[in-house]
Amino acid sequence: MIPVSESSSPTSALDAQGVRTDIYPREKIPKQPVLSFATFTHYSNSTSPSVLDAGAVRYVNRGSMAIGLSLQHAKVGNGDEVLLPAYHCISMIEPVIWRGARPVFYRINPDTSINLSDIESRLTSRTRLLLVTHYFGFPQDMVRIRNFCDAHRILLIEDCAHAFFGAINGAPIGSFGDYAIASPWKFFPISDGGLIISARRDLSGLELLTPGPWFQAKTLVNTMEHAFEYRRLAAAHLLLKAPLWFKNQALRQTKGMVPVIAPSDAGSSSNLGNGGFDAARVNNRMSMSSWLITNMASKHRIVEKRRHNYARLLAELGNLPDCRPLFASLPEGVVPQVFPLVYDVPVRAFSLLKRAGVPIIRFGEYLWEDMDSSTCPVTAELSRCVFQFPCHQELRDNELHWMITQIRSLGKR
């Protein structure tokens, strides 16, 4: 793994642009959804379609593991070629390598739509499968892509890691692939979880293992501590503060570990919502607590608040002099994962925003080291210049206002 513009490892204290990432304060508002009592508030019984409506669903450990299971179920292996977007995260590539297949990277367009002409030029007799991503919740033209795969007799994975809700031509998102995968932790306040979905393949023979009690307890504690860190679930925090303090002290002394979540007045060291492909967990189920939250949380609230927050960000950040929204509008039915902004001078912006405690997500910051840097100039630009800011349903109005103020004031510093 190497960054686009530097040769340092992503495990170092440098980001892809050579900026140190170990010198910033903790993020002042939650980057990902955090559990709250409002999570289960039902605005109404109606909601947008989701990947849960797209076909048979199996709940697994992580979205990257769902990719691995899809490849395994399709018997993709040694000698096969898998078409993958040049704009990617490393955990999308690792399952292909795990299966012994060869990743072949294709170009995307500046609006993140895939370049079918480029894909067609890369087809060989060994091409088995195409993976297509709905970047940041904005759907690809899946009817055209499905027809392309049928015409060339290749399999299709519809990557819905950024797009849990929505419909395309009246069909739920995730309906078009031979397999679809999803990452519910990007939309729900949970600390693990992935989905493999299919309306075209029988998944009944997919054997999954139930994680042990330690993992079940750990994921629940992680989810709650993440909420406590951002002052949610105050009553529960008051009851659990003492035992959690003793738990963290025990971890420090017996394993030399930093606590998963530090006390409320300190920063978090949690990897909540992070983690790449792990072959040892490919067949693991989602934890019970994450399954319950995913199925009990108000879907209507998620859809409405994400769209509302995105619209507010677009209205207040859409005409800044030093950046522009990657998507200039929010089409009806689109439920965004994040709000992506394209910066003219990303190094300066990143440093100033991180020092202020603004949460920034960097999809595609690091790209697969074996991909030729000339494969897709658009990818190089997006990887370097696009920052994603949260627009999730658990942001409070004052938190959203604070983030907008910080981003707007950047040009004045």
The pLDDT tens digits of the residues spanning 236-257 come to: 888 877 766 666 666 666 655 4
pLDDT mean over 83-96? 97
Domains and CATH numbers, the chain: 2-36+298-412 (3.90.1150.10), 51-198 (3.40.640.10), 212-274 (no CATH)
What tokens does 237 get? Answer: 């925090």
Confidence of residue 44 (pLDDT cuts 50, 70, 90): low
How confident is the model over 128-149, as pLDDT tens digits? 999 999 999 999 999 999 999 9
Mean pLDDT of 355-384: 95
For residues 394 and 38, the answer to whether their CB atoms sit within 8 Å is yes
- HEC profile for the chain? CEECCCCCCCCCCECCCCCECCCCCCCCCCCCCCCCHHHHCCCCCCCCCEHHHCCEEEEECEHHHHHHHHHHHCCCCCCCEEEEECCCCHHHHHHHHHCCCEEEEECECCCCCECHHHHHHCCCCCEEEEEEECHHHCCCCHHHHHHHHHHHCCEEEEEECCCCECEECCEECCCCCCEEEECHHHCCCCCCEEEEEECCCCCCCCCCECCCHHHHHHHHHHHHHHHHHCCCCHHHHHHHHHHHHHHHHHHHHHHCCCCCECCCCCCECCCCCCCCCCHHHCCEECCHHHHHHHHHCCHHHHHHHHHHHHHHHHHHHCCCCCEEECCCCCCCCCCCCEEEEEECCHHHHHHHHHHCCCCCECCCCEECCCCCCCCCHHHHHHHHHEEEEECCCCCCHHHHHHHHHHHHHHHHC
383: confidence class by pLDDT, cuts 50, 70, 90: very high
pLDDT for position 273:
43
Is the confidence at residue 263, as pLDDT, over 80?
no
410, pLDDT greater than 90: no
Average pLDDT, the chain: 88
The residue among 291 and 9 whose pLDDT is bigger is: 291
What is the reported pLDDT for 247?
A: 64
Report d(CA 178, CA 158) in Å as an integer: 8
Least confident of 101-105, 253-257, 292-296: 253-257
Q: Are 83 and 106 in contact (CB under 8 A)?
A: yes
Range with top average pLDDT, 1-5, 152-156, 244-248, 371-375: 152-156
pLDDT of residue 220: 93
Higher pLDDT, 261 or 244: 244
Residue 275: CB partners within 8 Å, gap ≥ 6? 62, 91
Q: pLDDT at position 246, please?
A: 60
Query: 0.85 cut: is pTM over it?
Result: yes
Separation in Å, CA 188 to CA 38, 134, 218, 260, 290: 12, 18, 17, 19, 9
What burial class does residue 191 get, using C-beta atoms within 10 Å of its C-beta: 0-12 exposed, 13-18 middle, 19+ buried?
A: buried
Most confident of 15-24, 41-50, 246-255, 316-325: 316-325
When pLDDT is averaged across residues 279-288 and rounded to a whole number, the result is: 94
